[in-house]
């Protein structure tokens, strides 16, 4: 194996625990863009477990973001998307026509590739999510929630004396942790992260990775990453995609150390990316 083995943090937390409950079950999912023109997901079957981190890896354009957006029904917004198959969360089919998409999306937090705080104060960024979802009443309760979310995002100590300053005055890494704090403010069950560290330097990346490790105590976390070492450091399960197919999924260390398909072998040995 040639993934960097001198990184001592690889696989320290890289094991799936069989007793964890399935939170999301993706069954026979096919997705086409452009009214059937582009077949972006092909017969995808995947279980995602509660209170662990699942990493989606694979070459660019293989369908990772597409599947992530199926999970919180973000693809509903795109005209011409055709979806077949089923996705259940806690056993309920989220594409059932009785399912209320807005109410449903509230159960998710989304962390984007590039930190995207609002041009408002640090406090207002975190309060925003809680306010639109009506999670709290009154200033005291809101301040408490803002502090709690900032603490859980490992940002409180750095910002507690400047909550009224603009979020845009923070560094990139702090902004991304603020976006995570904002995502936490709606009390999501599931946190979706699409390459959350791709715009961050190594130090900031390390802090976000530590945070991801902590988030799984209370949330189901899915992270897309193009960084294999990152997947090996933060995830317990990994799903490898290739040209719209889910080629392999399972316990992270097992998948990396004993890849079964030629495509994954090539991918982990850096023969293409």
Residue 14 or 58 with smaller CB distance to ligand ADP: 58
- Piece of the chain touching ligand ADP by CB under 6 A; list 15-23, 57-65, 248-256, 257-265: 57-65
Which of 65, 174, 230, 252 is the binder for ligand ADP (CB under 6 A)?
A: 65
Query: Per CB under 5 A, does 225 bind Mg ion?
Result: no
The residue behind tokens 């309060």 is: 127
Name the burial class of residue 143, with classes exposed (0-12), middle (13-18) and buried (19+) by CB atoms within 10 angstroms of its CB: middle
Other CB atoms within 10 A of residue 5 CB: 10
Task: List alpha helices for the chain, DSSP H.
Answer: 64-71, 101-105, 122-132, 138-152, 156-159, 172-184, 202-215, 228-234, 252-257, 262-268
Binding site partner of 62, from ligand ADP, Mg ion, none, Cβ cut-off 5-8 A by kind: ligand ADP
Q: Quick check: 144 binds ligand ADP (CB under 6 A)? A: no
Residue 132 contact partner, candidates ligand ADP, Mg ion, none, CB within 5 to 8 A by sort of partner:
none
194 pairs with which residues across the strands?
Answer: 224
Site membership for ligand ADP, residue 83 (CB under 6 A): no
Distance in angstroms (rounded) separating the CA atoms of residues 193 and 205: 13
Q: How far apart are CA 237 and CA 223, in angstroms?
A: 10
Q: Which does 230 bind (CB under 5 to 8 A by kind): ligand ADP, Mg ion, none?
A: none
Largest interatomic CA distance in the chain: 57
Q: Does 173 bind ligand ADP (CB under 6 A)?
A: no
Burial annotation 212-249 (CB, 10 A radius, 16+ → b, else e):
bbebbeebbbbbbbebbebbbbbbbbbbbbbebbbbbb
Taking CB under 6 A as the binding criterion, the range among 62-70, 100-108, 158-166, 252-260 that sits at the site for ligand ADP is 62-70
Does residue 248 contact residue 219 with C-beta atoms inside 8 Å? no
Q: Which stretch binds Mg ion (CB under 5 A): 60-68, 81-89, 103-111, 263-271?
A: 60-68
Cα of first residue to Cα of last residue in the chain, in angstroms, is 16
* 11 vs 32 by CB, closer to Mg ion: 32
Number of residues that bind Mg ion (CB under 5 A): 1
Nearest approach, Cβ of residue 66 and Mg ion (Å): 8
Q: Which has the closest alpha carbon to 133: 113, 115, 109, 112?
A: 109
Residue 36 interacts with ligand ADP (CB under 6 A): yes or no: no
- Stretch of 31-39, 157-165, 169-177, 228-236 lying at the interface with ligand ADP (CB under 6 A): 31-39
Return the number of the residue (1 or 78) whose C-beta is nearest ligand ADP: 78
Q: Per-residue x/- mask for Mg ion, residues 65 to 94, rule CB under 5 A? A: x-----------------------------
Binding site for Mg ion (CB under 5 A): 65
Binding site for ligand ADP (CB under 6 A): 33-34, 38, 40, 58, 60-66, 78
């Amino acid at each position: 194996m040639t993934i960097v083995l001198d990184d001592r943090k690889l696989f320290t937390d890289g094991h799936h625990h069989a007793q964890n409950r399935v939170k999301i079950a993706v069954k026979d999912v096919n997705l086409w863009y452009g009214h059937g023109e582009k077949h972006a997901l092909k017969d995808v079957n995947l279980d995602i477990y509660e209170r662990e981190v699942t990493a989606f890896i694979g070459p660019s354009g293989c369908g990772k973001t597409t599947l992530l957006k199926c999970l919180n029904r973000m693809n509903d917004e795109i005209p011409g998307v055709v979806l077949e198959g089923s996705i259940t969360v806690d056993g309920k089919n989220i594409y059932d026509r009785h399912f209320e998409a807005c109410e449903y999306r509230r159960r998710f937090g989304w962390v984007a590739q590039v930190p995207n705080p609002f041009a408002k104060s640090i406090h207002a960024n975190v309060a925003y999510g809680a306010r639109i979802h009506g999670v709290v009443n009154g200033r005291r309760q809101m301040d408490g929630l803002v502090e709690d979310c900032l603490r859980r995002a490992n940002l409180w100590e750095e910002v507690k004396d400047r909550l009224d300053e603009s979020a845009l005055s923070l560094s990139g890494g702090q902004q991304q942790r603020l976006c995570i704090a904002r995502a936490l403010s709606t009390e999501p069950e599931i946190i979706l992260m699409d390459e959350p560290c791709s715009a961050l330097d190594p130090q900031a990346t390390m802090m976000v990775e530590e945070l991801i490790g902590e988030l799984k105590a209370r949330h189901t976390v899915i992270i897309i990453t193009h960084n294999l070492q990152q997947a090996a450091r933060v995830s317990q399960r990994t799903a490898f995609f290739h040209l719209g197919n889910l080629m392999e999924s399972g316990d992270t260390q097992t998948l990396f150390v004993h890849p079964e398909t030629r495509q994954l072998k090539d991918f982990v040995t850096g023969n293409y990316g």
